[in-house]
Structure 1
Amino acid sequence: MFLKHEQFGGWVFLQDLSHKVKENIAKCAIELFKSEGYDSVSVNEICEKANVSRSVFYTMFKGKRGILDYVVSKPQQNDDEGFRRFADAENDFERIWQLFERFIFIALDFGPKLTSRLFIMQFESPQGIRDAVHALDDLFATLAKNCAKNGIIETEEPPELLSRIATDLIIHELYVWCSQNGNFSLRERARQYAEIAYHVKPQYRMTPEQHAAL
């Protein structure tokens, strides 16, 4: 049964409103986690800052962890700007790099302490930052196959394997970055490791100056 135009418009409005409320709760929670520490922040404090009731909060999230899961899963989705950047990328390796950058930007926004919480979550249950990045394995592999066909990478290793290795290398460096309190450029290190792991040909790699500028 089809919805009438007015009903459909109302449904879209409610969906949009729900998304905005969820985004606001997540934004307020992350600000508190960064300033006060994840363990020190209560759901009540998040609700107060976001100006929502506990019932609304629990309609959107199961708890504090659900907020981090939500934020970390966002790179799997394309907003309009992300889609345009992805489509306009110079080649498929640059598209791979854009996907990695989405997670790196979250880590840089969170900072080492809050990002460390993502690794603690990984130990507490099968889901976590590693699973969020590896959720894109099929897309990484498809892009890597295209890179091989177009002469951007040069290797006899299966693209699927290269993608898993590259992802785990970058996740490892993210862990090191957290353990060293962010004392090196995560973007620079991750880009170098991605180029090496994917066997990117020299002409498609960044120059040392470009690496240093990341």
Structure 2
Amino acid sequence: MSRRAGIDDSKRNLFSWKSFMISGGLFTVFLVAFLQFKREKMLSLEKERRRSMGKASIGGQFDLIDQNGKPFSSKDLLGKWLLLYFGFTHCPDICPDEIEKMVKAIEIVSKLQDTQEIKPVFITVDPDRDSAEAVKGYLKEFSEDIIGLTGTKEQIEAATRAYRVYYSAGPRDHENDYIVDHTIIMYLINPKGEFIDYYGQTKTAEDIASGVSMNMLKYASANKKFSLF
């Protein structure tokens, strides 16, 4: 074998080795990228699964009495979006603030979404004092549009249990007055009666309106009916 032939063979071997290294490097990069994509996809699916499980465990049917003293069921609310809040009429500050926030959020949403109706709903956690008449008079101070609901202790317990709402009456003072400690959350319910989202006390009316509008758009997109004509 000539010296030149040996040099050519060395070059070919070097080129083959470099090609192998480059190919191996590219394969490794693609493999890492694929595994990362697969991992993120699995995490996303698991997160969605857990979120769906959480949603499935909140909400449900209830049978109460409205502010006019008439029987009222959760079925009467189907077909509408709802912002649902649990409170009581003797609440000194938090409930009034949250109800005002709920009303304002709905006003904002109504300006943005003129095709999907949304109603504010108030359910008392103090059935001993909050009669239908008391609830009606209380809610008039905020908005005529609020649906106010009360009921027997058993009915209220069933509704709060369905929505995982904690409430507990505190000690009574010398005037037999008391405060009810309770969960401070607004629940967003879609037209099918399904729990979709919740908003805590730290959320502003603008935050809530933004969240509601986003969920409305998602719902409309998912339930859009296509026509051939």
Greater share of strand: 2
With the length of structure 1 as denominator, give the TM-score of the two structures: 0.24
Between 1 and 2, higher relative CO (CA 8 Å, sep ≥ 6) is seen in: 2
With the length of structure 2 as denominator, give the TM-score of the two structures: 0.23
Greater share of helix: 1
The higher radius of gyration belongs to: 2
